[in-house]
Chains A and B, each alone.
Chain A
Amino acid sequence: MEYSADLLAVDKPSARFHDTLNAFVAPVAKATDAVASDPVALRVAQAVCAAFGDSGGSNGMTRSELAAACSDAVPAVAFERRFDLFLAMGLLRRYAEKPHQQRYMISPVSVTALLVYGRLEEANGVEEIMLLLDRALRDLDTGTMTRETLIEQITTVRRNLSILADHLLYLAEDRPWEELVAEQSQHRSAEALLDKANSLVRAAGERFPELLSSGAGRRLVDEALRYFNAVNAFYGRLLAQASASRDFSMLSPEQYLSAASNRSRSELAVPLARTVFDPASMLLSAERLVSAVEKYRPAPPRRRPPRPPDSSSDRDPVTAAREREQTRRVVMEAEMELHLQGGDEADLTSRIRAAGWRGAARIVTNALLANADPAVPVAVDLSDALIVDAAGPVSHVTPMTLHRIPAGAISDADATFAESTNA
């Protein structure tokens, strides 16, 4: 930033702080311009303090060392302009009172003053009252405070609180909103201050019971309560104006983040309780619906296509079936001939008994099929007897005899039936 004395004219927070410093120095000021109007003056002092804190030693620092250490924070010309004044007023002092001494030390009093200025910028004196209350409580606790001192401190705190409460009420009732915004961060400790005042009065009552009857304690609590109410009135007007103008800059981003993290949903909903919102809506076109359905519709069930006709052969399937049937019949006749061994009759019982269950079933089944097929010239006789041979391969056998049927004995009707079934 360029060094410029006009900064105060455009930088409203700095201008406000200048007013605060004027009021702060007024009790001991000799002239109305006792406080520098240039905000850089304070920054030079802070830079000098930082330089001693970071780089100084018990031997102090030279002017050139100081200038170099401050060069990053403030312009060199500003440092040179303030250096002699700091030396003349005691912020800086020579390491030794000799004309040729070029090393300087910083005054601890000035360091404390810088801390006070910092608190002034942030808390506008409320923190001082808090400190006063803390100190009084501590001294009461340790028993180092006399009754007179306590009355004096209680009176001081009460008077300061009265002045601050009046100031806040004046702001809340009569001043432009912008002035309230400028001071909004300086009275956030009202509740804590009220608690401390209560604690002090309780502790004072225990230590000096007669103080309660004198009314000093009650007046302090009354004044703290008045300050508390003034703070509420102050923030009430701030919030009312901020709500009406929907000014979301009243809180810092960190405060919004903290609220989002730590507050319940119902608490967060309170500021918007009287806000009207459009209900949730969704814009969906018919084309979009159709597109989604077509894209994600279920896949049709898979069906195995019919087996294509065997194009590798030109054979007629009916003829092929007839040929397969004829082959089966030839095999059957050959098996029956095998049983008959050229004769007209054969007893199959012993063969069945020796063939085991699987073989017996095949022999019996084939013989019965041959018997049922008119085209095969054999017949089967089944006995009523039952041969039981528990130790044999087939334990139960009905005797079976195979006969050859003479060729002329097959009736025409049977032959016709056989033809039709073969087809």
Chain B
Amino acid sequence: MGDTTTRSTLAATLPSSVPVALVLASASVRSFSSSLRMNVLRTLGASVLVWSEALAVIFLLTAFDGIAGWSTAEVLLLLGIADAGLGLGMLLGEPLEPPTFSQLLRDGRFDQVLTRPMSPLLWVIVNDVQIRNVGRVLAGLAIATGGAGAAGVSLTPAAVALVLGAITAMATIVVAILAIGAAITMWTIEGTEVLNAFTYGGATLSGWPLQIYSSALRAVFLWVVPVGAAVYLPTLRLLDREGIGIANQDLLPALPLLVAAFCALAVVAWKAGLRHHTGAGG
């Protein structure tokens, strides 16, 4: 019984100085390669779905010659950012989605997570990183890049930073929405589809210029669940366009605050969920 027989394949590849969260994430990447063909196909599928959506936007706006004064290219920039952000958020947050998380609660795996010396939220995320969402991220990035190019945005470092910042903000909010959803699932146990309205629905909504919506809908997605702000405000700056009402380029510096405030709300909800957590039956 020497050291060699008990040593894991992980230990052989990853030095012990690598943070444990990353090691866990790399372990979940391994399960991607355990059914590689299917996962590669699903990654492509996620990508194709976004491209189909973009194609529909192109068809529609070609037939109508733009929307609310925005050209097809400009709308594609919005759509690309929204989808890349959603994809990145899902890449991390998908295990928090109602059906998956509800299963985690019911079969008692979440109880097990709570006996670990680590943040349970981080644990749930890194243990089941859904690589196939990379397909959505890449398609979103490509569409955003194409849209920006066609809209005449020059590729300066500032422009790249704005796009990446917008995607990060969107992804952060998506994870926060999913965390709130998971907290709700700790009460209801049965998963609920309602949160889809904010994640997938939020991405769909922010793929269009915000001025097309009623002021009430706009307010919700600017101030409460700021996915609208995350995509729209940076895009206004990129295109140097007028926004609508208070949702203007001047509001861009406030975006980090809006995102932070929403994350704080998610943390409060998650903590309340943990306090309420009733464990798996038995």
| A and B found bound together | no
